[in-house]
Amino acid sequence: MRAWEANIRRVTPYTPGDQPNRPGMIKLNTNENPYPPAPGVEKSLKEFRTDCLRLYPDPKSSVLVEALAERYHVAQDQIFVGVGSDDVLALAFMTFFNSGKPILFPDITYSFYPVWAEEFRIPYETPALDGNFRIVKEDYDRENGGIIFPNPNAPTSLAMGVSDVEDILLHNRDVVVIVDEAYVDFGAESALSLVEKYDNLLVVQTFSKSRSMAGMRIGFAVGNALLIRYLNDVKYSFNSYTMNQLALKLGVEAVLDEAYFQETVAKIIRTREQARERLSELGFRSLDSSTNFLFVTHPEYQARELYEELRKEGIFVRYFDVPRIDQYLRITIGTDEQMEALYAFLEGYKALQRKEV
Ligand code: PMP
């Protein structure tokens, strides 16, 4: 080891899902939306004048903050925006989790949480999900330095009712509680209704899933104005200009088209419920999803083997080689045509397995 290596901040990085780029591939591995963003986004992109790129963007991201404040019926000083919710969450870890006491998040959850905790030297404990992969709210009733969980949880797809979220808040008035609602629009109840009541609640959402804009990188948080001020102080001490001109402009367009948003989400929910049925006919069990993905297992198949066979066919799903969930696959809901191709492959796979037995 070289001498200077002794003083390096060493981290084990988060492993994002593959971003393959094969012609004709069916990409159901990173929970993207299979439909394009709202039509106004493309229109606005076509009208975009590159001359404005000479200038720095508005550090306050005012146009986007205003649109979000109006859409979610909160004051502008209750909104924080960032470069995807990953950026918002990373800054929130840095801002709010400094007590030296362990923060709490579930053992099976978004795998970026332990990475940020380690990067920022935040101790953490991971209460186990129960045998049905549900968050046990009583496990969060103990001394801690803060709490974060996704609702619905990922990769399990299961949602907790807002009264259970409130129960966790009631038992944790002295720390910041972050509810990561990346998938909430696909059928869960949002904790946004609790923001006025609990000044220690931060709700984080993203444009990457329900608004079809993963490639643009926009996320936001809603909370008490004081909480948001602290978050902004850290942001401005790190990088004032996080949101670029184009993201601000196109992000506003996505928020304004409520009808398109509702329609796209409804389409995905419809396909998801059909997928549950079709997969069940093929012998899979899927958890009760409130997201744009299904978490599935099959009593006769090795999940890893199936994942690899699908991959060879250009059908990408997500496999986690992690205890408790290593017999599961996470399948993002695609278009109806993409899902038909998946079922067709699985029919063939089933026939092949029967022959081999
Ligand atoms: N939270 C959860 C639970 C997620 O699954 C993801 C997607 N990887 C994110 C946050 C981050 O999404 P983004 O940065 O695209 O907003």
Q: Which residues constitute the domain of residue 316?
A: 19-36+259-356
- pLDDT at position 357, please? 61
Last residue of a domain, one of 256, 290, 307: 256
Ligand 1 within 6 A of 214 CB? yes
Tell me the CA–centroid distance for residue 86 and ligand 1, in Å: 6
Peptide bond into 152 cis (omega under 30): yes
pLDDT in tens, 1-39: 899 999 999 898 988 888 888 888 999 999 999 999 999
Ligand 1 within 6 A of 155 CB? no
Residue 9 lies in a domain: no
Tell me the CA–centroid distance for residue 26 and ligand 1, in Å: 20
Ligand 1 within 6 A of 206 CB? yes
Residue 316 lies in a domain: yes
Ligand 1 within 6 A of 82 CB? no
Taking the CA of residue 180 as reference, the ligand 1 atom at the shortest distance is 1
264 and 225 within one domain: no
Tell me the CA–centroid distance for residue 82 and ligand 1, in Å: 12
CA-closest residue to ligand 1 atom 12: 85
172 and 251 within one domain: yes
Residue 287 lies in a domain: yes
Give the whole-angstrom CA distance, residue 349 versus residue 302.
12
Counted domains in the chain: 2
CA distances from 77 to 53, 65, 73, 222 (A): 26, 8, 12, 9
Q: Output the pTM of the full model.
A: 0.97
Give the whole-angstrom CA distance, residue 159 versus residue 151.
5
299 and 227 within one domain: no
Helices (H) and strands (E) in the chain, counts: 10, 13
CA-closest residue to ligand 1 atom 6: 182
User: Among 281, 287, 282, 275, which Cα is nearest to 335's?
Assistant: 275
Taking the CA of residue 217 as reference, the ligand 1 atom at the shortest distance is 15
Tell me the CA–centroid distance for residue 298 and ligand 1, in Å: 26
43 and 32 within one domain: no
CATH for 293: 3.90.1150.10
Give the whole-angstrom CA distance, residue 233 versus residue 77.
13
CATH for 161: 3.40.640.10
Query: Mean pLDDT of residues grouped by 10 in the chain (357 residues)?
Result: 92 86 92 98 97 96 98 98 98 98 98 97 98 98 98 98 98 98 98 98 98 98 98 97 98 98 98 98 98 98 98 96 96 98 96 80
Ligand 1 within 6 A of 180 CB? yes
CA-closest residue to ligand 1 atom 2: 182
186 and 63 within one domain: yes
Residue 80 lies in a domain: yes
Taking the CA of residue 17 as reference, the ligand 1 atom at the shortest distance is 8
CA-closest residue to ligand 1 atom 7: 182
User: Among 300, 297, 288, which Cα is nearest to 317's?
Assistant: 297
Last residue of a domain, one of 256, 284, 314: 256
pLDDT in tens, 85-110: 999 999 999 999 999 999 999 999 99
Taking the CA of residue 218 as reference, the ligand 1 atom at the shortest distance is 16
CA distances from 56 to 17, 187, 237 (A): 32, 38, 17
